[in-house]
Amino acid sequence: MTPDSVPLPRAVRPADSCVMAVFGASGDLTTRKLIPSLYNLAAQKLLPDGFALVGNSRRAMTDGEFRRKVLAGIEEFAPAPASVDAATLGWLSERLHYLAGDAADHAMYGRLGEAMAALDAARGAGGNELFYLATAPEFFGPIARRLGSAGLVREERGAWRRVVVEKPFGSDLESAKALNDELKTILTERQIYRIDHYLGKETVQNILVLRFANGIFEPIWNRRYVDHVQISVAEELGVGGRGGYFDGVGVLRDMLPNHIFQLLSLIGMEPPISFDADAVRDKQVEVLRAIAPLTPQAARRDAVRGQYGDGAIGGIRAPSYRAEPLVAKDSSTETFAALKLTIDNWRWAGVPFYLRAGKRLPARSTEIVVQFRAAPFQLFRDTPVEAMTPNQLVIRIQPHEGIALTFGAKIPGPAVNIGTVDMNFDYQSYFGAKPNTGYERLLYDAMTGDATLFQRADMVETAWSVVAPVLAAWKDAPGDFPNYEAGSWGPDAAQELLRRDGRRWRECAG
Ligand code: BG6
């Protein structure tokens, strides 16, 4: 199919009318993601006229100052600044408001309620209210409690009230459970939208389509044909200005039980009976539950951690993690983690899933590799074994979004020499580039009441319980850090994790 023959997308209706409140509105997320995404939705006519937003933080700002601050972010982050359209900008700008106040102050919620009611009356939002918690995680519970006691999340007369909770959702199983329990005393599960921004990525959503809208993959998507699966999230960046947050968290908590497990569950899940939110999430959680629990011994053997030292990326010197701002000079926080898991069910028994995430690696690349078993019989005896690369289905999540299937082909010439070639689907060349921060779909879904791409309480808790043995194994034994150079593919032990199984990581191209 050529790009010209790609059918036009189905018409999508604008989101429900609503007033949205953003806590933490002076922060980065609002400027970099939320407002640019709302702009992109508005440009696609997916926000209704009955929409308004009120930002809240402690910082004193007028509506005008707030508008100028966040709208400036659109130019920078929207991502196609040349196409910023004055009419859309004006439309959005007049719907943006600001209320300064301390989210810890009970009285502030009375004022917020009044401000939202006034905006609702002015715009005709029908009583629907969306609360977005873009604050530091320690405020999630307290804000929800105060929303509850101020009566702001009570659903009356057919209007909805929803709360979007940002990442991180807890820092281990106990804290995630405690937060879930707290939220459940105030909200029903249906009202809670736990964000994982990986699910906003088109390529991640496409995993469901790849698997369940095509007949050719399902018969081979199992232990009979799949040798193993690799999921890599490699970043060139270090922790930059986020050392204060990251040093208390580490890459395992930051990336594995959320982003990487989302990818794992979409790759590993059974077909859902429909695309209803709970039908999909039931299957996702089922596969997470089927992950074989790591014994303390397996946690030490099958989990690898690393921390970068000095090095260079693309010829540019990169300082060690311990020299980053707001990082302890003797920090034992990991900036690289790799993990081997198995899924104990009929589809995946015996198929290892190798997961890795790291900062300051040689390339920025998120990809999933489904590696198939080798041909049953090596017919080409004279061909060097290393030339017989296995078939891989490579799902490139970012950058250069696409899917490639690698296979062996005869190199033209009188002798039989086999080279690895691929069939390659590239998103951009088929569908063109669309301005997208990754939050558009998630915001739209929260406003229309589709929770499919949000994490349910049981998913979050199951994910934390999978990594709990690793957290326990690492807690009392500081790592021998630094143990990889910035700009390398992580510690040797990560290579060894696969080598001892006779496998190796695919080198992500970036
Ligand atoms: C965030 C993590 O959730 O995801 C960051 O806190 C990480 O540490 C980021 O860099 C990666 O997201 P993306 O979309 O750039 O792959």
Whether the Cβ atoms of residue 165 and residue 197 lie closer than 8 Å to each other: no
C-alpha to C-alpha distance for 127 and 105, rounded to whole angstroms: 24
> Do 316 and 253 fall into the same domain?
yes
Pocket lining: 401 vs ligand 1, CB cutoff 6 Å = no
> Do 122 and 238 fall into the same domain?
no
Q: Which residue has the higher pLDDT, 76 or 111?
A: 111
Q: Please compute the mean of the pLDDT values over residues 87-114 and round it to a whole number.
A: 96
pLDDT higher than 50, residue 476: yes
Pocket lining: 223 vs ligand 1, CB cutoff 6 Å = no
Pocket lining: 324 vs ligand 1, CB cutoff 6 Å = no
Q: Residue with the nearest Cα to atom 6 of ligand 1? A: 254
Instruction: From 116, 150, 166, give the residue that closes a domain.
Output: 166
pLDDT higher than 50, residue 454: yes
- The pLDDT of residue 2: 41
pLDDT higher than 70, residue 7: no
Q: Which of 97, 197, 228, 259 is catalytic?
A: 259
Q: Please compute the mean of the pLDDT values over residues 339-354 and round it to a whole number.
A: 98
CA of 254 to the centre of ligand 1 (A): 8
Pocket lining: 166 vs ligand 1, CB cutoff 6 Å = no
Instruction: From 166, 191, 226, give the residue that closes a domain.
Output: 166
Domain assignment present for 54: yes
pLDDT higher than 70, residue 23: yes
Tens-place pLDDT, residues 377-434 = 776 666 665 566 789 999 999 898 999 999 988 889 988 788 889 999 999 899 887 7
Domain assignment present for 509: no
The domain tally of the chain equals 2
Ligand 1: atom nearest CA of 167 is 3
Domain assignment present for 235: yes
pLDDT higher than 50, residue 356: yes
- The pLDDT of residue 383: 64
> Do 156 and 58 fall into the same domain?
yes
> Do 65 and 212 fall into the same domain?
no
- The pLDDT of residue 79: 62
Pick from 37, 197, 198 the residue to mutate for probing ligand 1's pocket: most ligand atoms within 8 Å of its CB. Answer: 197
Domain assignment present for 435: no
Ligand 1: atom nearest CA of 245 is 6
> Do 125 and 267 fall into the same domain?
no
C-alpha to C-alpha distance for 417 and 52, rounded to whole angstroms: 64
Tens-place pLDDT, residues 270-288 = 999 999 999 999 999 999 9
CA of 256 to the centre of ligand 1 (A): 11
- The pLDDT of residue 416: 79
Which domain does 18 fall in, by range? 3-166
Residue type at 297 in one-letter notation = Q
> Do 224 and 348 fall into the same domain?
yes
Could you tell me what percent of the chain has a pLDDT over 90? 83
| Range of weakest confidence among 91-100, 285-294, 315-324, 426-435 | 426-435
Nearest to 198 by CA among 228, 233, 243, 165: 233
Ligand 1: atom nearest CA of 398 is 16
Q: Please compute the mean of the pLDDT values over residues 166-187 and round it to a whole number.
A: 96
Pocket lining: 167 vs ligand 1, CB cutoff 6 Å = yes
> Do 337 and 207 fall into the same domain?
yes
Domain assignment present for 394: no
Structure tokens at 36: 């640019």
> Do 46 and 128 fall into the same domain?
yes
Domain assignment present for 451: no
Q: How far apart are the first and last CA of the chain?
A: 26
- The pLDDT of residue 73: 83
- CA distances 209 to 102, 130, 275, Å, are 44, 29, 11
Domain assignment present for 185: no
- The pLDDT of residue 35: 95
> Do 466 and 367 fall into the same domain?
yes
Q: Please compute the mean of the pLDDT values over residues 145-174 and round it to a whole number.
A: 96
- The pLDDT of residue 3: 46
Residue 197 annotated among the catalytic residues of the structure: no
Residue type at 276 in one-letter notation = D
> Do 116 and 248 fall into the same domain?
no
pLDDT higher than 90, residue 451: yes
> Do 250 and 303 fall into the same domain?
yes
Pocket lining: 437 vs ligand 1, CB cutoff 6 Å = no
Nearest to 165 by CA among 426, 451, 467: 451
CATH of the domain at 82: 3.40.50.720
> Do 287 and 152 fall into the same domain?
no
Domain assignment present for 7: yes
DSSP codes joined into one string, 403-445: EEEEEEEEESSSS-EEEEEEEEEEHHHHH------S-HHHHHH
Query: What's this model's pTM, rounded to 2 decimal places?
Result: 0.94
**In the predicted model, what is the mean pLDDT of the chain?**
93
Tens-place pLDDT, residues 294-306 = 999 999 999 999 9
Burial status of residue 275 (CB atoms within 10 A of its CB: 0-12, 13-18, 19 or more): exposed
pLDDT higher than 80, residue 337: yes
CA of 285 to the centre of ligand 1 (A): 22
Please, which pLDDT band fits residue 437 given cuts at 50, 70 and 90?
confident
CATH of the domain at 486: 3.30.360.10
Please, which pLDDT band fits residue 125 given cuts at 50, 70 and 90?
very high
pLDDT higher than 80, residue 491: yes
Burial status of residue 225 (CB atoms within 10 A of its CB: 0-12, 13-18, 19 or more): middle
C-alpha to C-alpha distance for 341 and 309, rounded to whole angstroms: 27
